[in-house]
Amino acid sequence: MARSFISIKRLADEPYSHILGYPRASKRQIRSRMVELEKLGVSSISFSGPTVLDGVAVLGKGYVGVVVLAKRNGKMVALKIRRTDSQRDGMREEKIMLEAANSVHVGPKVLVAGRNFLVMEYVDGIRIGRWLDTLAGAGRAKKLKNVVRDVLDDCYRLDEAGLDHGELSNISKHVMVRGLRPVLIDFDSSSTKRRPSNVTSITQAMFIGSGIAKKIQKIYKNPPKSSIIVALRAYKQSGTRESFEGLLDVLRV
């Protein structure tokens, strides 16, 4: 799908300035942010995506920032804009967390960050809930199992790295599917200072307690919850590859 991009020089104008300084910003703050974008190499932005924010389309919105599609060095990237009402002092801490995830081949690749912006790889996919809705016909159970296995593998690597994502219980907002490959996104709540629970959180979200679990159940029969809980406890106690493989066996993926 063709997308229209506008130069960052136009971001001082409404309604674009409202997104650049969401939810409110002075003209001085807007100018400062435009200068910062130039320094980061961002040349243009496309206001498109599934989320509509005060009449303007964006890729997504969270407590920390608004994500838009942008261009940097001629390539499409995802640009996270820090909200002016965010409790975070800047975006560099999230950059560090995403770099830690990237070191074990998880998450969108981080490119550069400043105080108010985080530039990362653009994941051209759809959220896992919508992806599940598209599954149909022969082979859909196999496709689903492959995606579930890949999600769990990513979470295991994060656990091993000592990085807790922090929000994987809300799977619908934090897992994208690109082709047949899932990508964990949004590491603004991540931490290396608490015990990781990525595998536990994502398993519960996919098989026990969410709307996603119900969708998965319709495609292939889930194991008994009691069996899943026993396997999760064993994994949580030891955290070994063997206990992880035991969980995969119980989940039949």
pLDDT per position as a tens digit, 191-242:
999 999 999 999 999 999 778 999 999 998 888 999 999 999 999 999 999 9
pLDDT per position as a tens digit, 12-39:
999 999 999 999 999 999 999 999 999 9
pLDDT per position as a tens digit, 179-190:
999 999 999 999
3-state secondary structure of 121: strand
Q: Tokens 């998965």 belong to which residue? A: 216
Residue 1's pLDDT band, with cuts at 50, 70 and 90, is low
Q: Measured at the alpha carbon of residue 52, what is the angle toward residues 51 and 57, in degrees to the nearest 5?
A: 85
Cβ–Cβ < 8 Å for 150, 181: yes
Residue 2's pLDDT band, with cuts at 50, 70 and 90, is low
- The two beta strands, 75-82 and 117-121, are antiparallel
Q: What's the rounded Cα separation, in Å, for the pair 105 and 157?
A: 8
Q: Measured at the alpha carbon of residue 54, what is the angle toward residues 51 and 57, in degrees to the nearest 5?
A: 35
Q: Token digits for 6?
A: 């506008």
Q: What's the rounded Cα separation, in Å, for the pair 184 and 199?
A: 12
